[in-house]
Structures are given as C-alpha cells and as structure tokens.
Amino acid sequence: MDVTPESDSAGPTSAVGAAAITLDQVRKQYPDGTVAVGDLSLEVKAGELVVLIGPSGCGKSTVLRMINRLIEPTSGRILLGDEDVTRADPVQLRRRIGYVIQNVGLFPHQTISANVGTVPRLLGWSRSRIQSRAGELLDLVGLDPATFGPRYPHELSGGQRQRVGVARALAADPVVLLMDEPFSAVDPIARARLQEEFLRLQAEVRKTIVLVTHDLDEAVRLGDRIVVLSQGGRLEQYASPATLLGEPASAFVREFVGADRAIRRLAVTPITPDLLQPLPPGGDTPAGMPTVPIGSSLYDALAVLLTTNSDDARVTAEGGEPIGLLSRHRILSIDYPADPIGG
Ligand SMILES: Nc1ncnc2c1ncn2[C@@H]1O[C@H](COP(=O)(O)OP(=O)(O)OP(=O)(O)O)[C@@H](O)[C@H]1O
C-alpha cells in the first residue's frame, strides 16, 4: 500500500504505520462539576484493537474525542507514540487520526470517491494520486470503485456507507483510527458481515484502533483487549475478551458481562489438544461423525454437535488428518482455567 506523502505537499502531517496511544491520568471535568472521565490511565499498543465499553454516559465518547482533541482534557497527558497530543496542532493532529462515527457523516453533495479523498485533498495530494488512493481504499473495503466511486451517498445502503466511512478514515494512512459506534446504525445481519470484513481489513492494515460500542458481543468479537468503564470514566477492567468473561475484576464487570458469559467464553476459547480423547484403535470413526478443525472455537464445535445431534466430533489438525475426539460432555464440563487465552 502506498503510504508515503508526496514530497511537494504533505509535509509532516502524514505518518507511516501505527502508533501506540498512552493516556496518563487523563481527566475531563465540566464547569458544572460533572466528571466525565476521572484520572484514566491506559496504554494501547501499536497495531492493537481496543474496545471501550460501558453503560450510557460513562465517558466512552469523551475518551475517544480527547484523543483527537475534539474535547480538551482538563488535566493529564495523551501520547501518540511519544508525542504529546495536547501540545500538537489540533487540525494537523486530526489529519493523522482517522475518525469513524455512527451514520458516517459523508458529504451528501460529493461523490463517494471525493468523500474518500477528503483528507488527502486537505493534505494537498495531486488529483491523480487522490483518485488512485480512493480506488484502492474502496477496493479494500469491498466496494467496486468503478461502480461506487461516481455515486453519491444517498445511492448507497447503510452498510455500504459505513464502509465508505472506514475507507475515508483510512485514506491518508492515519497512525490511529478512532471509531465511535461505527456499526450500530446498520441491521444485525449487515452488521455481522461488516464486523467480519473489518477484522479482515484490520489484519491487513494493522492500525492502532480504539472503538466504542454498546454491544458486548461486538466487543468480544473485535477487541484484542476490552476496556470496561463505569460512570465518571472509571476504569473497571482492561483485559482480553477471555479474561474479561472468565475473570471479571469487580461486581460491576460481572453484572455488566451478564449471565450468558459462559456462552461468550466458549466463543473465545479455541479447541486445544488437551481437550481431546484419543481416536479409536486404527483411527476409524463413524462416517456420519462431524469434523471440526483444531483451533475452532468451542462454541462452533458445540454448535456442530448440537445441529448434527452427535455426542462426539472428530478434530482434525491443520493438514486435515484426524487427531482426536471432542465430546459434547467435555465442552460443557470445562472447568475454565484463570485465563485460557492469555491476559
Ligand atoms: N458540556 C457538558 N457539561 C456537563 N456534562 C457533560 C457535558 N458533555 C458531556 N457531559 C457528560 O459527560 C458524561 C460522558 O459523556 P459521553 O458522551 O462520553 O458518554 P458515553 O459513555 O459515550 O455515552 P453514550 O454511550 O450514551 O454515548 C455524560 O455523563 C455526559 O452527560
């Protein structure tokens, strides 16, 4: 992917790669005394996808908007790599930080290509370079540039517009992507597809991403790590999905992740060799026995067992050869270790 700014124009505002984000004792207090975020310290590693979740009004959006300085913190420091953003020029800063919001906010009277090219245009890229970058980005988010590039936003579905929002945020190759409820305005089916595509995209571009959501399933599906906040931007827990579900750090988190967390844990726990029983002598298994590859989630394995009404599944190695049996009983009787995936 082309990430170098044109030497004649872009200046220091384009950066390559992904940057770590550090919040150091960051606080936002409004004049009326409301503490939206209280002394929050967090580190997001370069290339990591961190999800902020918590009840309405707990300060999620405020945290996000302090990172790109749409909101000024009352105190504390926010670092992008080792640069203090509270000292950076806000306009230049925002050109290096992609920002995706619910309902996208595309410019209605501009074509999709022009919308995607917004930041490159502000950075003074040449027309031809903007065109080719817009095409590349539309491709990346699964929209054919020849079909969608010349259209206007109202000629797209909600899910397609959302993808354009992501393409636009990535256009100038930002070091950080901030996403505020990016998928919540689309229906559940389109949403699941967008989430899946988004994970594929992230595997390709490896940006540092902070994403706000109300939806715990989305958080578990997308997050490398999840931040749970309570009122006043108080940090309740910062952990991998598996740890969060398996080891809630407080009564608040336990309640927040809810009663169906056993199911969610299955979804984030892979099949590992220690869960398997040996194959029968000679390796023969009944023809109708379902097969699941090692590394699939226990949730997927259980779903296969239930839909085929089987007690056991044949588990195969990466090369496809059977290596053991996984029983329904074994899945349901798992005594979870403290953290099956790692903190
Ligand atoms: N100008 C203001 N003056 C006083 N309080 C404010 C102001 N703006 C926001 N707040 C408060 O800051 C808190 C955090 O708001 P924020 O939008 O960050 O919450 P959120 O977790 O993103 O909420 P939601 O999930 O509902 O979008 C809220 O309690 C809100 O009422």
Atom index in ligand 1 nearest the CA of residue 59 equals: 18
CATH number for position 319:
3.10.580.10
pLDDT digits (tens, 9 = 90+) for 58-68: 999 999 999 99
pLDDT above 90: percentage of residues in the chain: 39
pLDDT tens track for 249-279: 998 898 888 756 677 778 778 899 999 999 9
Q: Which atom of ligand 1 is nearest to the CA of 181?
A: 27
Ligand 1 mean position to 166 CA, how many Å?
24
- pLDDT over 70 percentage in the chain: 91
Q: Pinpoint the alpha helices (H) of 206-260.
A: 216-222, 241-246, 251-257
Enumerate residues 6+ apart whose C-beta is below 8 A from 150: 111, 112, 113
Predicted confidence at residue 214, as pLDDT, reads: 85
Q: Does the pLDDT value for residue 145 go beyond 70? A: yes
Q: Is the CB of 55 under 6 A from ligand 1?
A: no
Read off the pTM: 0.74
pLDDT tens across 100-117, in order? 887 667 888 999 999 999
Q: What is the pLDDT of residue 217?
A: 85
35 located within any domain: yes
* Angstrom distance (rounded) from CA 293 to CA 110: 47
Which of these three, 248, 264, 280, is where a domain ends?
264
- Residue 34 Cβ inside 6 Å of ligand 1? The answer reads yes
More confident residue, 3 or 205: 205
Q: Is 31 in the pocket of ligand 1 (CB under 6 A)?
A: no
The answer to whether residue 171 is domain-embedded is: yes
Residue 169 lies in a domain: yes
Total number of domains constituting the chain = 2
Q: What digits encode the pLDDT tens for the residues 213-230?
A: 988 888 988 999 999 999
Report the pLDDT value the prediction gives residue 89, as an integer from 0 to 100. 86
Q: What is the pLDDT of residue 46?
A: 93
Judge contact between 80 and 177, C-beta under 8 A: no
Question: Which residue's alpha carbon is nearest to atom 3 within ligand 1?
Answer: 30
Range of the domain at 292: 270-332
Alpha helices in 155-215 (DSSP H): 158-170, 188-205
Question: Is residue 116 a part of any domain in this protein?
Answer: yes
Residue 143 placed within a domain: yes
From atom 24 of ligand 1, which residue's Cα is the shortest distance away? 56
Residues 306 and 257 in one domain: no
The neighbour count for residue 43, using CB atoms within 10 Å, is 14
Write down the ipTM of this complex: 0.96
Indicate which residue's Cα is closest to atom 14 of ligand 1: 59
- Do 253 and 275 belong to one domain? no
Q: Clarify whether residues 291 and 212 are in a common domain.
A: no
pLDDT of residue 35: 94
The answer as to whether 337 is a domain residue is: no
Q: What is the pLDDT of residues 156-171, one digit of tens each?
A: 988 888 889 888 888 8
Same domain, 224 and 274: no
**Which residue's alpha carbon is nearest to atom 28 within ligand 1?**
57
Note the pLDDT tens digit of each residue in 36-47. Answer: 999 999 999 999
CATH of the domain at 75: 3.40.50.300
Split at pLDDT 50, 70, 90, the class of 343 is: very low
| pLDDT over 50 at 296, yes or no | yes
**Residue 292 and residue 211 in one domain:** no
Q: Is residue 242 included in any domain, yes or no?
A: yes
The answer on 83 and 28 residing in a single domain is yes
- Point out the least confidently predicted range of 75-84, 135-144, 183-192, 206-215: 183-192
For residues 305-318, give the mean pLDDT: 89
User: 237 with 119, same domain?
Assistant: yes
Window from 27-36, 48-57, 177-186, 324-333 with minimum mean pLDDT: 177-186
Residue 12 has pLDDT above 60, yes or no: no
Contact predicate 54/60, CB 8 Å: yes
Q: How far apart are the CA of 88 and the centre of ligand 1, in A?
A: 24
Note the pLDDT of residue 104.
67
Q: Does residue 323 lie in a domain region? A: yes
Tokens representing residue 338 in the block: 């403290």
Cβ–ligand 1 distance for 60 under 6 Å, the answer yes
* Minimal-distance CA residue to ligand 1 atom 18: 59
